[in-house]
A and B are shown apart, each in its own frame.
Chain A
């Protein structure tokens, strides 16, 4: 028997689009994302009584979603992170339009970031959570979130600089390549 208030249930409904956006950023396609949101909603509904009204519902839902996703990944023994960055290294070679900063390039760059970095970057840079909130959602220290965000931004900067040498200048492009080959980015 679910005694949670009607307004809480309305709030839940209102947060579905946000959850979908977060889910897509984690798993990469909208269909899997919606399945993930479905599972999240079921769990949330069944645990609504344990949610303390007045606290951060959005953060609570995001936590359920990412925990569900991460444990599903482990269950499927899927490669969760591109740890050696080899996918990211290939990325900069084929921009859609050389010399033009392209949204497609950015999306692709985002998709090949290691999962924990992409999660941190999206929580802080897109979903608007504070570092502290993001740390709670991800179950790690604030310092860990900060370092993941820095690494993510650093990798994206490299990719964007190499893809758009005319916009950013040859210095940046050269530096990005040097940084990658001399063992800066991993």
Chain B
């Protein structure tokens, strides 16, 4: 095994490196760790929900606390777990897949991750500072306007900070994929994960601003005395529902499209075949992204928009099944006749197809507006969206974690533990959510903290709770697997799965900080597989080795985000006890220090931004000699391995 260059750095140096890094590979690790932490939090909240609902008339959680727990479960899982974990894979893989040295805006990449981290912490601090938000993750204005205390304000400010980070990352990935592709990497040669990342990033750019505006309206109404949702003053709470779902529906495609991308890579790799119907897959991805913006009102069928609006949105919703169906058939055709290898990622991918199709079918059922009046606000809905989000997105996250683990850490997770984890998670998932379809049809409403004995809900709820416990066990096995692997620290070499097809698997592991010593030349789809079949298995270089320009590390993104975090507290407590604020906030004791905190926080942010714009940061060059020395060493290492 090769010696790792350099001395082992102290903890402080490593920490400082991560706080200031602009390297997409390290930012991926920050996303992974922070997203994993919030995933655990959201998971604990899920366990609390299922523990409360396991038996009738339970008083494990009080009604108010239950509302806080379901709100934070949804908000945490969507904004702070699923999306950041997907960003972790995008950061770790996409620049390598397109042959780039880094993303287009490394500084903004760092800013995006720290805004997300601070926004997430801000949101979760609500637990310790007077109560979490309790109006559901959708936070409908009619509920959230009346919610006492600062819970909803934590939701609003926290999402505003984290959302800004997401928008920045979205812009970054759109630009990266448009401008940073290596020579020969045409759009129609891009791996599917890159394609789905591009479409998801475009969706982020278009979907997050409506949320920003919606949350601003909520903040202004609660904290600054405006009247957007105050019906007595002419306000209208339906505006929130529209703005939220114009964001919220594309948001679920932001989650599922990269998941589709991860699965496409896995199917093709472990079937040892080209992806079937590549161009149809690309077309379907774009079409889903397009339709994603035309269906938001299917969340609002029962609001009373009228039969015409409902019919249009019902049809548009059903139309989405077409491109999604194209994808499902193409995945099946990819496996068909392939030389299949049942690795952990592949098992997840195979389990994903039937699980996700079930979620899709119930989606079509709800798209029929008249029928939706029956399903609305029942456990049927809960079952549906967990089938698509867990059966689609979470399966993809777990599959992607196993699949891309070597690229991220240079080691390989245990396949044995991985398969045990997969089987338990799969059983637990269906055990939890399948029965909830019936619970919903039997009439159990969602968002209730308990139910009476003798209504026929007992057994089904118990089964559901047992399933949830199984999923928790599977996640604990995954954690054990991760710890064991990291402790063992057995490094793997290039292309650890042996069947890598795309550019990221052609790189040495650990990947050099500049990624590609030589700019690669791409000759076709599945660049590495092509070279394995037709060439010598190495990617040709687009030109001679040349000095590489690199960006400098910077602490400024951390400070900008920290400033907003501080300012968030100022803005939030500034409203306490003010006569113009909503009753729920105006009743709180006044906080005279809040204004100074607000000013201090904004000062930190703006001074940091000022330093950034006043001091030119031109980066540095890696000299040609260093690159050539690295290449020689790599060659020697590979000869030694053979």
The answer to whether A and B interact is: no
Seen from chain B, the residues whose Cβ lies within 8 Å of a Cβ on chain A are none
